[in-house]
Amino acid sequence: MHPPISFGDARSVLASDLDGTLVPPERSDERLREVARFGGAVTTGGMGLAYVTGRHLRSAVACIEELGLPWPSALVCDVGTSVYTRSDERYRIDTAYRALMQEAMGDVRAAMLHEALATLEGLRLQPEDSQAEFKVSYFVAAERYAHVLEAVSDALAPVASVTLVASRDPETGHGALDLLPATVSKAYAVDYLARNAGVDDERLIYAGDSGNDLHALLSGRPAIVVGNAHPDLKVQLRDEAASRGIADSVYFADSRYVAGVLEGLEHFGVL
């Protein structure tokens, strides 16, 4: 039996991406001070916490320990395809969510996807520890990014119904592509957390920096886009938020990484 999802009596809940958002690429004294300030703000502000990451569970836990980030009540890993809840200082798989993933995956298998994409140039399978039960991950060459994504979509269309989640490193331009069960994304997992924990939309704030955060940032809930997000993503978010009539719900922070999250939380009146 998996433990229930609960954020206690928290007045608000932050669901945040890790790498590029709460986890800066460099470990300078300034960045580490920002991480420490974030931890203090969570503690004193009585804020519920969930991390939503592309990392697998062991990697996410190691990252939290390394930086001294506060422990979240829930961990969404593998780009939204796995959910873990904290109980007795351990994280346990949410078996009900795993059943949802099995249903969404249907008859699609990783081998089918590998075969369909085997001949595409500019696409390279990520290492084994980046793969997951319901996620297949590739690297995408920076110079062929848009072309490769279009070619992948065309190649998979007659083979399987999956969600394509693409993101780019704002510093290098290198891309990543995750293939997930149809309709699944980080946003799907965050919706599941909110629904099962009974958290109202206005009380849940999402923070992110990359393409795999796109749907969660456009959910209509309060959202923070940190300053280091890729310029193309910022343009897309502004345009889509405006077209959906939710522009006021998306805050574009000037500050980068953790400082940008803190800036956004202040903007929304949480801190």
Q: What is the pLDDT of residue 44?
A: 86
**Superfamily per CATH, domain 13-100+184-267:** HAD superfamily/HAD-like (3.40.50.1000)
Give φ, ψ of 198 to 5 degrees. Answer: 70, 40
Give φ, ψ of 37 to 5 degrees. Answer: -65, -40
Q: Distance between CA atoms of 158 and 27, rounded to whole angstroms?
A: 45
Q: Distance between CA atoms of 142 and 58, rounded to whole angstroms?
A: 28
Question: What is the chain's pLDDT, residue by residue, as a tens digit (271 residues)?
Answer: 567 888 988 999 999 999 999 999 888 999 999 999 999 998 888 899 999 999 999 999 999 999 999 999 999 999 999 999 998 889 999 999 999 999 999 999 999 999 999 999 999 999 998 999 999 999 999 888 889 999 999 999 998 999 999 988 766 667 899 999 999 999 999 999 999 999 999 999 999 999 999 999 999 999 999 999 989 999 999 999 999 999 999 999 999 999 999 999 999 999 8
Count CB-CB contacts under 10 A for residue 243: 10
Instruction: Evaluate whether 58 touches 67 at the Cβ level (below 8 Å).
Output: no
Q: Distance between CA atoms of 210 and 229, rounded to whole angstroms?
A: 6
Q: Where are the domains of the chain?
A: 13-100+184-267, 106-181
Can you give the pTM of this predicted structure?
0.94
Instruction: Evaluate whether 163 touches 188 at the Cβ level (below 8 Å).
Output: no
Q: What is the pLDDT of residue 88?
A: 85
Q: Distance between CA atoms of 83 and 182, rounded to whole angstroms?
A: 17
Q: Distance between CA atoms of 67 and 162, rounded to whole angstroms?
A: 34
Fold of 106-181: Hypothetical Protein Ta0175; Chain: A, domain 2 (3.90.1070)
